Amino acid sequence: MLAAGELVVRAGDPASELLVLVAGELSVLVERATGRRRLATLAPGATSGELALVGRSPRTADVRADRASEVLALRAADFDALAERAPDLQAALLRNLLRGAYEIVDRGNRELATVLSP
């Protein structure tokens, strides 16, 4: 169980797991020159760490519990093992991860278009 205000993930940390929010609320935050900015608020059922897990890249944002929260973690090694043990499950997870990645990119593109429009 995570306490309100607890940092779950820190930007720059290695991606070793995918998080699934079971209960509570999490914020995805990035540090900018103008201060800290909330990118998303996650509700139960949401995931965090999709891109970092699949790409094995460092975390790109902080994730903080806004209130008492519970998360499940799927370790990278367990995710990889699904390829042999349960390939259909891994494919379903990848489809869902891709859907989430699309939403992130789409939201970023719309925000960028707003900033760049005359």
pLDDT at 5: 97
Tens digit of pLDDT for each residue in 21-68? 999 999 999 988 898 999 889 999 888 888 777 788 899 899 999 999
pLDDT at 103: 82
Confidence of residue 1 (pLDDT cuts 50, 70, 90): very high
pLDDT at 16: 85
Supply the CATH number for residue 67's domain.
2.60.120.10
Structure tokens at 53: 């897990």
Q: Domain count of the chain?
A: 1
Q: Which domain holds residue 11?
A: 7-116
Q: Is residue 1 part of a domain?
A: no
Single-letter code of the amino acid located at 6: E
pLDDT (mean) for 2-12: 95
Structure tokens at 74: 């799927």
Distance of CA 49 to the CA centre of its chain: 3
Three-class SS state of 45? coil
pLDDT at 102: 83
Q: Is residue 108 part of a domain?
A: yes
Q: Is residue 2 part of a domain?
A: no
Residue 17: other Cβ atoms inside 10 A = 20
Three-class SS state of 40? strand
pLDDT at 86: 94
